Amino acid sequence: MNDIRLKWEKDDNADVYYVYHIINEKAVQLVRIFNSSIAETRVPNIAEKNENHFRVDYCCFNNGKEQCLRSKDIYCFRIKKISIQYDYPMPKNFKVIEGKDKNTLKWDKSASNMHYSVGKKIPGRKWIRIGITSSNYFEDTRFVNTKGISYCVRCIEPSTNEVLSGLSMVDVD
Strand partners, 121: 150
CATH domain 95-171 topology: Immunoglobulin-like (2.60.40)
**The model's pTM:** 0.78
pLDDT digits (tens, 9 = 90+) for 58-82: 999 999 899 999 999 999 877 677 7
Domain ranges of the chain: 3-86, 95-171
User: Rounded to the nearest 5 degrees, what angle is found at the Cα of 46, between the Cα atoms of 43 and 50?
Assistant: 115
- Determine the Cα–Cα distance for residues 134 and 116; give it in Å rounded to an integer: 6
Phi, psi of 80 (to 5 degrees): 55, -120
pLDDT band at 85 (very low <50, low <70, confident <90, very high): confident
Contact 20, 10 (CB under 8 A): no
- Determine the Cα–Cα distance for residues 36 and 88; give it in Å rounded to an integer: 24
| pLDDT for 60 | 94
pLDDT band at 1 (very low <50, low <70, confident <90, very high): low
CATH architecture of 3-86: Sandwich (2.60)
Mean per-residue pLDDT for 40-48? 76
